[in-house]
A and B are shown apart, each in its own frame.
Chain A
Amino acid sequence: MTAELKISIRGLRKDFATRFGCVGALGGVDLDVREGELCVLVGPSGCGKSTLLRILAGLEGATAGTVEIRRSGGRRPPTAMVFQEPSALPWLTVRSNVAYGLRMQGMDAARRDSIAARFIEKVGLARFAGAYPYQLSGGMKQRVSVARAFASDPEILLMDEPFGSLDELTRLALQDELLWLFEETHKTIVFVTHSIDEALALGDRVAVMSPAPGRILSTIDVPFPRPRKLIALRENPEYGRHVARIWNLLGVGRERDAAPSA
C-alpha cells in the first residue's frame, strides 16, 4: 500500500484516577492508519479501545503521547463519532440529526438539507426523514448516527462498537450498509469492536489489543478483496484461519492450557 498516513499515534497513554488509585487504561499505544483505510481495533473488554477512540475524538485528553490526524484543509471537522448507545438527538428529526454536523460547521440550511437527504436515502430512511428518534427502532436510530457521521464529512470516522447492542440480523444489515458506504466514500475509519467476526468482515487491517493497560499486540492485514459480500466472505477458507489467528492473539482458550492465575 502506498496511501499516505492519515492518523499517527505514538506512545499514547491514559491513566485514570480512581478511589483505588491510579489505573492504567492505555499503556503506550503506537498505531498508524492510512488514508482511506478501515482499521478495526479488537480487544478484551476494558482494554481501553473506547478510551482510545474518545481521545481521537477530542472528548478526552491523554496522559502522555501524541495523536496526529493529517488535515486536508477546508472546514472539514477532524472527527465524527458513532457511539455504541443510541445517540440521535431526541429533539431533532432524522433530517436535522443527519444535518447536525454540517449545521455546526456553519453550512446554510438548503445545502445541508440536500446533503442530509442523500445520506438518509443511502441508509434507507427516506420515509422517516421527518420522524423523531423515539418513533424509530434501535437499528434505525443507529442508521441515523451512521448517516450523520458520514454526512458531516470528517477527516476520519470513529465507530465505537456501533452495532454492539443490535440483534444479529439488524447487525448484519448495518454491517452491509457500512461496507458499501465505506467502499463508496473511502473515508478513513477507526472501528472498535469485540467481535472478531465483525473485525474481519469490515476491516482492511485488524489491530489486536492487550488487556488493560491496552497496547497494540499485533496488526493483521485482512486479505479479502473489496467490494465484499458478507456471506461469500464466510465461505472463504482464509476466513477461518484469520479468526483462529486473532483468537490466539487474544488468548482465547488459553485458560484451559495453563493453570488459572487468579
Chain B
Amino acid sequence: MPRRPPRGLPLLSPLFILAVWEALARARLIDVRFFPAPTAVLAAAWGTAQSGELWADLEISLERIGVGFVLGTLPGIVLGILMGLIPLVRLTCMPVVSAIYPIPKSAILPLIMLIFGIGELAKWVFIAIGVFFPVLINAMVGVLTIDRIYMDVGRNYGARGLNFLLTIALPGALPVIFAGIKLGFGLALILVVIAEIVASRAGLGFLIWNAWQIFDVEKLYSGLVVIGILGYLSSEAIDALERVVVPWRPRA
C-alpha cells in the first residue's frame, strides 16, 4: 500500500520557487525592477495594509463581487432550472443565450457604462452578467441530466409546480449548479478587476493599475498576491458551502 504523502507537501513547490526567486533577486541575477524580491513585495503589502489602503480597496472590490455575484447567480439558477424543466422556455431562451454568451464580457463594459453610468451600479451589472451565463447554463444542464427515475418518483408521488422544483429539480441539479457557481466566481474576479482598471478610483484593480502608473512594482505585485489569495479562499469557501448544501454525495 502506498504511503500517504505528508500534509504540507502542496506547499513545498511554491515555497521552493519563492526561495529561488528571493535568492536570485538578492544576488541581482534577475532585474528587480521587474521581478522584485518576494520579501520586498511582502514589505510593500505590509505598508499598504498598515496605511489602510489595502483594506479599503479589498472591501470595495469584495462588495462589488458580492453584489454582482448574487445579482447574477439567483436569476441564473431560477431561469436555468425553468429552461431545463420546460421545453417551451428552453426553446425560446436558448437562441438568445447562445447569441449573447460568447461575446467577451469586457466588450460590453462600454455599453454598460453608457447605460448605467460609471457608478457602483454599472460594476454590479457588469459582474452579474458575467456570472449569470455560466450559472444559467449549468443549472439547465443540471436539470436535463437528472436521472429520469427521480422525475418519475416526483410525479408519481404528486409533486407539482413549486413542490417539484424544490424537491426534485433544484436538489437534483445542485451538484452541477455548483460547478457553474465556481466558474461564475472566477469570472467575477476577472470582471471586477477589469471594471476597476477602466472606470474606478478604488478597488484592487485600481490599486494594481495605479501602481503601474506610478511604477511602484512592489505594490503592483502585492495587488496580484492579494487577488490570488482571494481567489484561493473563495474557492475553498464555495467548496465548504457545497459540502453543507450537498451532503448526499460521496466524497473522496
Chain A residues at the B interface, C-beta cutoff of 8 Å? 57-59, 77, 79-81, 83, 85-87, 89-92, 100-101, 103-105, 132-134, 148, 152
| Contact pick for A89, options B150, B163, B246, CB 8 Å | B150
The answer on a CB contact under 8 Å between A59 and B152 is yes
The answer on a CB contact under 8 Å between A134 and B157 is no
Residues of the A chain whose Cβ atoms lie less than 8 Å from the Cβ of B149: 83, 85-87
Stretch from B2-10, B18-26, B81-89, B166-174 contacting the other chain = B166-174
Residues of the B chain whose Cβ atoms lie less than 8 Å from the Cβ of A89: 150, 153, 167-168, 171
* With A90-B248, A91-B248, A104-B163 as contacts: A81 and B158 at CB distance below 8 Å: no
User: What distance in Å separates the Cβ of A24 from its nearest Cβ neighbour in chain B?
Assistant: 23
CB-defined A-B contacts under 8 Å, sample of 16: A59-B156, A77-B158, A79-B156, A81-B156, A83-B153, A86-B149, A87-B149, A87-B150, A87-B153, A92-B171, A92-B248, A101-B157, A134-B249, A134-B250, A148-B157, A152-B157
**Secondary structure of the B side of the interface?**
helix
The answer on a CB contact under 8 Å between B248 and A132 is yes
The answer on a CB contact under 8 Å between B153 and A134 is no
User: What distance in Å separates the Cβ of A30 from its nearest Cβ neighbour in chain B?
Assistant: 24
Q: A108 CA to B172 CA in the complex, in Å?
A: 24
Residues of the B chain whose Cβ atoms lie less than 8 Å from the Cβ of A92: 171, 248
B33 lies within 8 A of chain A by Cβ: no
**Secondary structure of the A side of the interface?**
loop
The answer on a CB contact under 8 Å between A104 and B159 is yes
Q: Mark B144-162, 1 if CB is under 8 A from A, else 0.
A: 0000011011011111000
Q: Mark B162-201, 1 if CB is under 8 A from A, else 0.
A: 0100011001101000000000000000000000000000
Residues of the B chain whose Cβ atoms lie less than 8 Å from the Cβ of A91: 171-172, 174, 246, 248
Q: A59 CA to B159 CA in the complex, in Å?
A: 12
Q: A81 CA to B151 CA in the complex, in Å?
A: 13
User: Which residue of chain A has its CB nearest to the CB of B149?
Assistant: A87
Interface-central residue, B149, B168, B249, B250, by most chain A CB under 10 Å: B149
The answer on a CB contact under 8 Å between A77 and B157 is yes
B247 lies within 8 A of chain A by Cβ: yes
Q: A92 CA to B150 CA in the complex, in Å?
A: 12
* With A87-B150, A100-B167 as contacts: A134 and B156 at CB distance below 8 Å: no
Q: A103 CA to B153 CA in the complex, in Å?
A: 13
Residues of the A chain whose Cβ atoms lie less than 8 Å from the Cβ of B152: 59, 81, 83, 87
User: What distance in Å separates the Cβ of A144 from its nearest Cβ neighbour in chain B?
Assistant: 11
Q: A152 CA to B174 CA in the complex, in Å?
A: 26
User: What distance in Å separates the Cβ of A92 from its nearest Cβ neighbour in chain B?
Assistant: 8
Residues of the A chain whose Cβ atoms lie less than 8 Å from the Cβ of B150: 87, 89-90
The answer on a CB contact under 8 Å between B156 and A132 is no
| Contact pick for B157, options A85, A90, A100, A133, CB 8 Å | A100
Seed contacts A58-B156, A77-B158, A86-B149; 20 additional CB < 8 Å A-B pairs = A59-B156, A77-B157, A79-B156, A81-B153, A81-B156, A83-B149, A83-B152, A89-B167, A89-B171, A90-B150, A91-B172, A91-B246, A100-B153, A101-B158, A104-B158, A132-B247, A132-B248, A133-B248, A148-B157, A152-B157
Q: A103 CA to B249 CA in the complex, in Å?
A: 23
Q: A77 CA to B154 CA in the complex, in Å?
A: 13
Residues of the A chain whose Cβ atoms lie less than 8 Å from the Cβ of B168: 89
